[in-house]
Amino acid sequence: MNHSRWKLLPPAPENHPLMTSGFSPLIAQLLYNRGLTEPSEIKPFLTADRSLSSNPYLLPDMSKAVARIYQALLSGESIAIYGDYDADGITATAILVKGLSMLGGKATPYIPHRMTEGYGLRTTALEKLSAQGISLVITVDCGITALTEVKKAKRMGLQIIITDHHTPLDEIPQALAIVNPKLPDSSYPFTELTAAGVAFKLLEALFQGMGREHQLDELADLVALGTVADMAPLVKDNRYLVKKGLKLINTTPRLGIREMITQARLNVGDIDAECISWVLAPRLNAAGRLAHALSSYKLLLTDSPTEAQELANWLEQKNLERQNLTIKTLAQARGEVLAQGISPLLLASDKDYPIGITGLVASRLAGEFYRPSIVVRTGERMSSGSCRSIPEFNIIHALTQCQKLLTYFGGHSQAAGFSLPTRNLARFAETLAHLASTELEGLDLRPQLEIDARITLPELGGDTFKITQRLAPFGRGNPQPTFLSRRVQVVDCHTMGSSSEHLKLKLKQGGTVWDGVAFGWGSHLSEVSQELDIVYNLEIDRWKNEERLRLNILDFAPAVTTPT
């Protein structure tokens, strides 16, 4: 673990409407920090109700897409839902297949194999679908950059509706309709919908026209899984959809989700966005990383308790394999990076890196070294890689400047993927290294911890935790409230965990004693002094059927210093 730059957010002005709205000063400050400056925004945010969601017809080409799908439903046409192998793509595929079947449609899922086909629309796959009698293909989580593939599909008589949420290129495919909130002509007020969210909005438009919109409630759990798994900001539509989905998961979870929860030793009723991020999503993703993502898709939609149990157990095993493979590959990639010397951009490449976990390894490298990181699996002719970045460096913008060297690329500002001829790899690495050196020159490359408020440990008592939970679900765009307490006395501190990788502390201030855990900070035991300044969240520690509040310590420093 590395220490961060601490940024204490400024206090809300005393005359700000939030400070006189009847909320406690702490909640008012938390709302202010999240950009809720107008009183009219507060109630919808706290209730996270339908008012956060906008009219689906504001999305581009929605009317065209709905009209064509209605036509297919009326004529009994066979429709293929062409998805992706990550959790967002899997859930989006399940949402559309299930939703269209609820309307009597004949919808068939197609999820490409990561290792043998790769990401996105593939002409060979479209040819197979055409041979099966498919005439309409609806993409989810892919297609926005598939210029050539869509042209070829038209020539073979396939009509394509693209639903995607990735950043488009300057030229867009000549599809029948493209539903994507990131298109320049989109009127939709929120651009950060996931693939699952866009698929849900398409169904919302379809069901509205039939007066059956209430039936979509049963799909909210799938939207929540995909949205949280894709690390989308949990504001606006996403906040509404995730809160609604979490309620469903915690009351009447579908068979497959219940089995995953059981296998992971979690409890129905305790599932939050963090459980999805760290426990459920990795399991859903494990199928596509090491085998075929269709297994995760089947788990989400099965009506058979036996099949749900078998598939959840299989996913559990695949996830363990994925964890072990990640540890092994990370050690190799980390060694390569250290041997090269830490530069503004990190790149590791090897012919034996498993393509299914290059993104995970890149993410770990970016987290440890706080540098944009790329992990490439090299081949004799073609190579492919995954990128993870930091807020200071837009990786998709960088790839765009290298597009002449690439056969494919796509993604977001912080996460992307690409393929290229292996002969171009050296020049590609050189170009990216130059871009990173130029853009990151002079910057303090350490992560920044934004702190909501400075408080004392005695102020955490009473119903403070319960009050802060009104802001849940937490995630990107709406992080867990983070606090700073200065000059906290350390009563006790020792390492914990099988490898002594964590710190367990007993902390005292003003007569109040709190337990705290600093995950991943075990190697920093020598830095713990008698008095500390600490940055932390409040969390519930569940152990042996008991629940206790504790401090989840994110960073610390000796109290005599003031971190910058």
Position 42 pLDDT exceeds 90: no
Rounded to whole angstroms, the Cα distance separating 271 from 249 reads 7
CA atoms within 13 A on the CB side of 81: 31
pTM for the complete prediction? 0.91
What tokens were used for 387?
């990128």
What is the arithmetic mean of pLDDT over 65-75?
A: 97
Q: Where in the chain is the domain with CATH 3.10.310.30?
A: 342-440
Residues 538/551, Cβ–Cβ less than 8 Å:
yes
Rounded to whole angstroms, the Cα distance separating 116 from 110 reads 14
On average, the pLDDT of the chain sits at 94
pLDDT (tens digit, 9 = 90+) per residue, 337-365? 999 999 999 999 999 999 999 999 999 99
| Strand 382-388 with 415-421, pairing | antiparallel
Q: Where in the chain is the domain with CATH 2.40.50.460?
A: 5-45+449-558
What per-residue confidence (pLDDT) applies to 410?
84
pLDDT (tens digit, 9 = 90+) per residue, 518-549? 999 999 999 999 999 999 999 988 777 788 89
What per-residue confidence (pLDDT) applies to 357?
95
Closest CA relative to residue 93, chosen from 70, 68, 110, 76: 110
CA atoms within 13 A on the CB side of 481: 24
What is the arithmetic mean of pLDDT over 483-494?
A: 96
Position 564 pLDDT exceeds 70: no
What per-residue confidence (pLDDT) applies to 552?
97
Rounded to whole angstroms, the Cα distance separating 259 from 327 reads 26
- Counting residues of the chain whose pLDDT is more than 70, the rounded percentage is 99
Torsion-angle region of 244 (φ positive above 0: left; ψ -120 to 50: alpha; else: beta): alpha
What tokens were used for 232?
């989308």
Position 563 pLDDT exceeds 70: no
- Give DSSP secondary structure letters for 47-65: HT-GGGS--GGGSTTHHHH
Rounded to whole angstroms, the Cα distance separating 236 from 45 reads 8
Q: How confident is the model at residue 561 (pLDDT cuts 50, 70, 90)?
A: low
Alpha helices in 56-194 (DSSP H): 62-75, 87-102, 123-131, 147-155
- Give DSSP secondary structure letters for 330-359: HHHHHHHHHHH---SSEEEEETTS-GGGHH
Residues 196/251, Cβ–Cβ less than 8 Å:
no
| Tokens 């299989």 -> residue | 314
What per-residue confidence (pLDDT) applies to 15?
83
Q: Which CATH class is domain 342-440?
A: alpha beta
What per-residue confidence (pLDDT) applies to 19?
78
- Counting residues of the chain whose pLDDT is more than 90, the rounded percentage is 86
pLDDT (tens digit, 9 = 90+) per residue, 174-201? 999 999 999 999 999 999 999 999 999 9
The architecture that CATH gives domain 56-314 is Alpha-Beta Complex (3.90)
Burial class (CB in 10 A: 0-12, 13-18, 19+), 362: buried
CATH 2.60.40.60 for domain 5-45+449-558: no
Lowest average pLDDT, out of 40-49, 194-203, 352-361, 551-560, goes to 40-49
What per-residue confidence (pLDDT) applies to 551?
97
Position 562 pLDDT exceeds 60: no
What is the arithmetic mean of pLDDT over 309-317?
A: 97
pLDDT (tens digit, 9 = 90+) per residue, 274-305? 999 999 999 999 999 999 999 999 999 999 99
| Strand 531-543 with 483-496, pairing | antiparallel
